[in-house]
């Protein structure tokens, strides 16, 4: 059993809430099939992250989803998240691992084969890989890797790969066929007027394609 094998990994983005509460949107996402939620709010203060993290911890625990905190190992510890997600410039995987309790998940964003191989060697539990397509959600993205880029990375690492960046429902089948374990999305779920239906649609495609693999 893999420590981290998310099929639909939903990343928060308060700009997509459009007046709806974080709680209602995340509940709908999990109802629809999101099995992992990442708290990622780059402009939030420590206090705001703590408040959102505690809320998400309560919901994810109740509903049986995994909770990951982006960047902030301190916040992950404070809310007893299941793990952290690091960028290439954040603290190294081994350092994060030492700061977290045994069994916590450490993931890292990767953008090419070299970074993916290094992540696996460093003991990451999973990698984010992308951006698969162009996205307006994140400004400072690395070059687009395409679904084809996944195939190459899949050949070089065996740890779980979560594809990210510009992914819409119509892209999901090809992404899973090209070796991703799951997909991570912000706008395709959080930005949808019907969050539950959007999540359910993507999750069904992942399940279908993984079953076929």
Our CA angle for 31, 33, 38, nearest 5°, is 95
Is 18 marked as a binding-site residue? no
Residue 138 among the catalytic residues: yes
**CB-based contact 37:68 (threshold 8 Å):** yes
Strands (E), the chain: 8-11, 36-39, 66-70, 83-86, 105-110, 126-129, 161-164, 182-185
Q: Nearest-CB residue to Mg ion?
A: 87
Binding partner selected for residue 90 from ligand TZP, Mg ion, none, CB under the kind-specific 5 to 8 Å limit: Mg ion
Q: At what angle do helices 113-121 and 146-156 cross, to 10 degrees?
A: 40
Reply yes or no on whether 168 is catalytic: no
Q: Does 92 bind Mg ion (CB under 5 A)?
A: no
Which option in ligand TZP, Mg ion, none does residue 110 bind, with CB closer than 5 to 8 A by kind?
none
109 annotated ligand-binding residue = yes
Q: Which of 5, 51, 74, 90 binds Mg ion (CB under 5 A)?
A: 90
The residues, ordered by sequence, that sit 6+ positions from 73 with a Cβ below 8 Å of its Cβ are 84, 91, 96, 99, 100
Candidate list 41, 71, 120, 209; residue touching Mg ion; CB under 5 A: 71
Q: Please tell me the distance from the alpha carbon of residue 141 to that of residue 165, in angstroms, as a whole number.
A: 9
Nearer to ligand TZP, 12 or 178 (CB): 12
Select from 29-37, 95-103, 117-125, 180-188 the region that touches ligand TZP (CB under 6 A): 180-188
Q: From the list Mg ion, ligand TZP, none, which binds 71 (C-beta under 5 to 8 Å, kind-based)?
A: Mg ion
d(Cα 3, Cα 11) in Å, to the nearest integer? 19
Cβ atoms of 107 and 124 within 8 Å: the answer is yes
Closest residue by Cα to residue 162 from 122, 131, 117:
131
Could you tell which of ligand TZP, Mg ion, none binds residue 87, using a CB distance below 5 to 8 A set by kind? Answer: Mg ion
Phi, psi torsion values for 127, nearest 5 degrees: -120, 145
Specify whether 133 is catalytic.
Answer: no
Count of residues that bind Mg ion according to CB under 5 A? 3
Q: Is residue 87 close enough to count as binding Mg ion by CB under 5 A?
A: yes
70 annotated binding-site participant: yes
Annotated binding site, which residues?
A: 38-42, 70-71, 90, 109, 135-138, 166, 186-187
Active-site amino acid positions: 40, 109, 138
- Give the binding site for ligand TZP (CB under 6 A): 11, 130-131, 135, 137-138, 141, 164-167, 185-188
Instruction: Extract the annotated binding site for Mg(2+).
Output: 71, 90
């Amino acid at each position: 059993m893999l420590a981290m094998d998310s099929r639909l990994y939903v990343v928060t983005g308060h700009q997509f809430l459009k007046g709806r509460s974080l709680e209602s949107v995340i509940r709908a996402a999990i109802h629809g099939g999101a099995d992992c939620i990442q708290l990622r709010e780059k402009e939030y203060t420590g206090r705001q992250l703590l408040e959102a993290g505690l809320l998400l911890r309560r919901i994810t625990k109740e509903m049986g989803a995994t909770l990951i905190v982006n960047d902030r190992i301190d916040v992950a510890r404070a809310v007893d998240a299941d793990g952290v997600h690091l960028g290439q410039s954040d603290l190294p995987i081994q350092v994060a691992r030492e700061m977290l309790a045994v069994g916590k998940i450490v993931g890292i964003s990767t953008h090419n084969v070299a970074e993916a191989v290094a992540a696996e060697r460093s003991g990451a539990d999973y990698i984010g890989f992308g951006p698969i397509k162009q996205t307006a959600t994140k400004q400072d993205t690395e070059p687009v890797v395409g679904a084809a880029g996944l195939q190459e990375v899949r050949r070089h690492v065996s740890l779980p790969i979560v594809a990210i960046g510009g992914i819409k429902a119509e892209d999901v089948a090809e992404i899973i066929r090209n070796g991703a374990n799951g997909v991570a999305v912000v706008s395709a779920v959080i930005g949808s007027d019907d969050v539950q239906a959007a999540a359910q649609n993507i999750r069904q495609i992942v399940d279908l394609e993984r079953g076929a693999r």
